[in-house]
Structure 1
């Protein structure tokens, strides 16, 4: 099992190229099931999660080819099977999103319910209710969902989400694109990844209006075409490297980062004493000599502070002057990185969905254990600033969402390497 070893204290200077968004790429891969023509995704991140989704799609009959460069070609000329077994769905929730496209195109599907998640329960009932609103019949049996479309296929309908679920919004959009007539998604999520999926589906032939607002309207088509589509830049990767610069100090250009996708984070970082500004290439982040100031944040759905950047922000706040309060309103159990940060000398008290972080003068390197994707990279950020050596174990979590992390940080001066035990 790999681990990452960091010698802290080196400032970061230079530029980092931002990869395509993992959370968008996985749903765009699922969209390939909606057409019998090739779907080419550029700026495609090479991650454990995208490889895992590729394995599932191949099981369903999709040809999956990588390269050249950050490019992937998916061709579902014929769906060989509409059965997604437990072993290929349990490890990653995004694989469940093949259900809607399979039912929309083939009229039926049997897909395992996804497994548990370290950051709390995330049920798929909203996904199933969305498909039912489009006419699908849903049966649950022995851990599997069996969905059947009515004769003639799915039919456009009104989908009302009780809260703005990103996954349910995306799943509904995928299925509605091959449904007859108009579908309306009320209380839709507004994340940039929703807009990216909408752009791709529109280029494939569906009519999509309102992405980025709380109401999305989709005019489905009997058939969709292939497409060449560039995956949107990863706003969480952008946020992560920005916070790494805040922790370690230095001056870094985040090439391809989208300023408008992280405005609330940029405000919080500015309040904390970090320079963040848009640039011709993307986003520039700098901290040279200034003291980090304790700053409160509360996670919210987009356009609020992203929950996927909460752990990284906490890592920076451990070294701030004063106290900061971090409130997590999206997922339960998402402070599991706090005990590991305290191993580096952080002063963190967790009370329910609130963490009180009292800044310390310096962190000290130590062995730590990653518990989930975002928690793992928060430990890397802390390690960059800590005195001495930090060893981050169980980095397979990290490989799910960050492409060439050690290489990108090393090019900016970080003393970081990967070791195999």
Structure 2
């Protein structure tokens, strides 16, 4: 285990380049096993989840080579061997459940442990199971692992209506359906940019996926997929949003590069409402030093609404704003692990009936806090940068799971931050 040590109060200036999207990457890597040729991914972020996925693939004889200088990952599934994945690394990240759809699409069966990842409240996989069964698979839960088996004749196309919008279920069903017989339609599908990225990736292999980015996705199954060209992963909109909030709080002129601003429309609208002074360019956003900031109400929702992954990183900005701010997370109402940690730092923040209520504070004080999940960790990291004194964040591995070369990037902006081994 490691800790992050932050000496707060330093102004940030300069530029930071956003890495490839974590939420795309953790779907694209499992999807690589559908290819019958080598797969090359560009703009791969340096995050712990990538290395965990590489280790899972190695168990199936899928060799990988990650060039950290060029951010290029080459995966070779040509000698893949089916292997049950009931435990081990599969428990280390939520996105491991994408091996359900990918293995089902490649081999016609899958044995995958129940997913791990962040504790941010209930995240059932019933919509995934419902979809697999619609495609003809039988599904059972045995000793904490999901057993999925296609019929002898293979999966068949089907009309699937998701009872609730689910990014995970939409991706998993795409992975299973791309090699199924006939046409599949996924209705009430999630519209996130990461789903469009996955569809682009699969279509470049020869898949026939149409409608990604809308609420109805249609897939015509094909018998074989072959990767032909490198796929460049889209920029990480959550990382971008995190640095935007950080720059608004602690910045003295910060240019955030490699951004698709359209992916952040709802977030940027809230920053403008708060009073953040920004200049949006073609693929970058310059954040000027902040003037007076105003509290707002934030309500998360499915894309293109305000992303649940950004409600915690924007929290320190709301603490700095004048007035009372409100955060309502309709996706994960129990995503509040950052609140008691912020209180340790002097924040005036409370929870009432799953609504987070924030009041202006003049300053925060450094403290010993714990990053219980990725985005809570990002929130505490920003709070530490704006606080007086020293902040020590334990369980920093959670931050490293989701933020590309975060210490290097913060130091380049002028932050006094380092990671040390936890002596305990």
Are 2:100 and 1:99 equivalent residues in the alignment?
yes
Contact persistence 2:102–2:175 (CA under 8 A): yes
What residue in structure 1 maps to residue 388 of structure 2?
387
Instruction: Please say if residues 33 and 102 of structure 1, whose CA atoms lie closer than 8 Å, have aligned partners that are also in contact.
Output: yes
Shift, 1:116, TM fit: 7.1
- For 1:43, the equivalent position in structure 2 comes to 43
Match of residue 344 from structure 2: 343
**Please, which runs of 5 or more residues in structure 2 have no aligned partner?**
none
3-state SS of paired residue (1:283): strand
| 1:374-413 alignment, distance < 5 Å | 374-413=375-414
Please report how far the alpha carbon of residue 419 of structure 1 lies from its aligned counterpart in structure 2 after TM superposition. Answer: 2.0
| Alignment correspondent of 1:291 | 292
Distance in 2 separating the partners of 1:256 and 1:115: 30
**Distance apart, 1:47 and its partner CA:** 1.1
Q: Check if 1:371 corresponds to 2:372.
A: yes
CA–CA distance in structure 1, aligned partners of residues 124 and 360 of structure 2: 36
Q: CA deviation at 1:88?
A: 2.6
Deviation at 1:295, TM superposition (A): 1.4
Counterparts of 2:141 and 2:386, CA distance in 1: 49
1:32 aligns to 2:45 (yes or no): no
1:10-409 → structure 2 map (5 Å cutoff): 10-67=10-67, 69-115=70-116, 117-227=118-228, 228-288=230-290, 290-409=291-410
* Number of residue-to-residue matches in the alignment: 420
TM superposition shift of 1:226: 1.3
CA distance in 2, matches of 1:356, 1:107: 48
The alignment partner of 1:397 has SS state of: helix
Task: Look up the SS of the partner of 1:325 in the other structure.
Answer: strand
- CA distance in 2 between counterparts of 1:419 and 1:86 reads 29
Q: CA deviation at 1:4?
A: 1.4
| Contact 2:140 2:147 survives alignment (8 Å) | yes
Secondary structure in structure 2 of the residue aligned to 1:90: helix
Inter-partner Cα distance in structure 1 for 2:186 and 2:287: 37
Check whether the contact 2:118–2:372 (CA below 8 A) recurs between aligned residues: no
C-alpha displacement of 1:81: 2.1
SS at match of 1:312: coil
**Displacement after TM superposition at 1:239 (Å):** 0.2
Report the secondary structure of 1:84's partner residue.
coil
The 2-side partners of 1:100 and 1:416 are apart by 40
Q: Distance in 2 between matches of 1:158 and 1:82?
A: 30
Query: How far does the alpha carbon of each residue in 1:46-68 deviate from its partner, in whole angstroms, 9 at most, with x for none?
Result: 21111111111111221111115
Render the CA deviation track for 1:151-184: whole Å, top value 9, x for unaligned.
2321111111011100000001111111111110
Kindly state the Cα deviation for residue 23 of structure 1 after the two structures are TM-superposed: 0.8
Partner residue in 2 for 1:9: 9
Structure 1 unmatched ranges of 5 or more: none
Partner Cα distance (1:273, 1:56) in 2:
45
CA distance in 2, matches of 1:146, 1:154: 15
Give the Cα separation in 1 of the matches to 2:118 and 2:386. 30
- Check the 8 A contact 2:118/2:373 in 1, yes or no: no
| 1:73-104 alpha-carbon deviations (Å, 9 max, x no partner) | 11111331231121232221211111222122
Is the Cα contact below 8 Å between 1:82 and 1:102 reproduced in 2? no
The normalised TM-score by structure 2 is: 0.96
Give 1:413 deviation, angstroms. Answer: 1.5
Moved more, 274-283 or 323-332: 274-283
CA distance in 2, matches of 1:160, 1:276: 40
